[in-house]
Amino acid sequence: MSHRNSYGSTGNQSLLLPESRFSSALQLEQPSGRSSSSIDLSRVDSPEDEQRTVVLSTQSEAARKQGARQLIPKNLAVSSRPKNRHHTTVVTLPPDLSWEDYDSDLGDGFSLRRNRRNKSYRAAVTSLNLDALPSELQTEVLSPVGEEKPVNQKQPQKSGRKKTLGRIRNRKHAGSFKDEPRFYQEIKERGLNASSLSTEDDELSPTEPPEEDQGIVVKNYRAAYMTWSQLQQVKDLGILDTISPEERKRQEAIFEIITSEYSYLHSLSILVTHFKESADLKKTMTTTEHHHLFSNISVIQDVSKRFFEDLDRRHQKHPVIRDISDIVNKYATQHFQPYIVYCSNETFQQRTLQKLQSNNQAFRETLKQIECSEACGGLPMISFLILPMQRITRLPLLLDTICQKTPKETAEYYAACWAFKAISKLVKCCNDGARRMERTEQMYTIQKQMEFGKIKHFPLVSSSRWLKKSGELAVYTDDLSIFRKAISIKSCYLFLFNDVLIITRKKSEESYVVLDYSTVDKVKMEEETTDAKLHLKLLMSPSSEQTILVAESRLDRARWITALHNVKKSESIANDDLPQYEATKAYMPKAPDELSLQQAELVIVLQEVEGWCHGERMRDGERGWFPANCATQITNRTAMENNIQRMERLRKETDV
% of the chain with per-residue pLDDT over 90 = 35
- Residue 484, Cβ neighbours under 10 Å: how many? 12
Q: Is 606:615 a contact under the CB 8 Å cutoff?
A: yes
**Of 46-55, 221-230, 299-308, the least confident:** 46-55
- Residue 196, Cβ neighbours under 10 Å: how many? 23
Query: What is the distance between the alpha carbons of residues 648 and 382, in angstroms, rounded to a whole number?
Result: 31
Tell me how far apart the terminal alpha carbons of the chain are, to the nearest angstrom: 77
Inter-CA distances, 548 with 100, 479, 491, 517, Å:
97, 13, 11, 16
Is the CA virtual torsion 129, 131, 134, 140 positive or negative?
Answer: positive
pTM comes to 0.62
Quote the pLDDT of residue 339.
Answer: 96
> CB within 8 A of 648, min separation 6: which ones?
574
Query: What is the distance between the alpha carbons of residues 49 and 193, in angstroms, rounded to a whole number?
Result: 75
Quote the pLDDT of residue 187.
Answer: 80
Q: What are phi and psi of 527, to 5 degrees?
A: -105, 145
pLDDT band at 39 (very low <50, low <70, confident <90, very high): very low
Domains of the chain with bracketed CATH: 228-443 (1.20.900.10), 452-567 (2.30.29.30), 580-654 (2.30.30.40)
pLDDT band at 35 (very low <50, low <70, confident <90, very high): very low
Going by the DSSP 8-state scheme, the letter that residue 406 receives in this structure is S
333 dihedral zone (left: phi>0; alpha: psi -120 to 50; beta): alpha
pLDDT per position as a tens digit, 522-555:
888 777 655 555 677 777 776 677 778 888 888 9
Query: What is the distance between the alpha carbons of residues 401 and 312, in angstroms, rounded to a whole number?
Result: 20
If residue 538 lies in a helix (H) or strand (E), which one and from where to where?
A: strand 535-539
pLDDT per position as a tens digit, 599-634:
788 999 999 999 999 999 988 888 999 999 999 999
Q: Produce one character per residue of 83-118: b if its CB has 16 or more CB atoms within 10 Å, e if not.
A: eeeeeeeeeebeeebbbbbbbbeeeebbebeeebbe
Asked if residue 31 has pLDDT above 50, the reply is no
Quote the pLDDT of residue 248.
Answer: 93
pLDDT per position as a tens digit, 62-93:
656 555 555 555 555 544 444 444 444 444 44
Instruction: Give which of 636, 635, 593 is closest to 612, Cα–Cα.
Output: 593
Quote the pLDDT of residue 308.
Answer: 96
Asked if residue 486 has pLDDT above 50, the reply is no
* For helices 361-371 and 346-359, angle between their N-to-C axes, nearest 10 degrees: 110
Quote the pLDDT of residue 545.
Answer: 73
Q: What is the pLDDT averaged over residues 124-149? A: 47
- Residue 510, Cβ neighbours under 10 Å: how many? 9
Asked if residue 479 has pLDDT above 60, the reply is no
Query: What is the distance between the alpha carbons of residues 613 and 625, in angstroms, rounded to a whole number?
Result: 5
pLDDT band at 124 (very low <50, low <70, confident <90, very high): very low
Q: What is the pLDDT averaged over residues 404-429? A: 92
Question: Long-range contacts for 563-570 (Cβ within 8 Å, ≥24 apart)?
Answer: 563/468, 563/469, 563/496, 563/593, 564/496, 564/501, 564/520, 564/523, 564/525, 566/468, 566/623, 567/468, 567/496, 567/498, 567/499, 567/520, 568/520, 568/521
pLDDT per position as a tens digit, 196-254:
544 444 444 444 444 444 443 444 444 445 789 888 889 989 999 999 999 999 999 99
Q: Is 595:548 a contact under the CB 8 Å cutoff?
A: no
Is the CA virtual torsion 55, 59, 62, 63 positive or negative?
Answer: positive
Inter-CA distances, 542 with 95, 197, 503, 522, Å:
106, 53, 16, 7
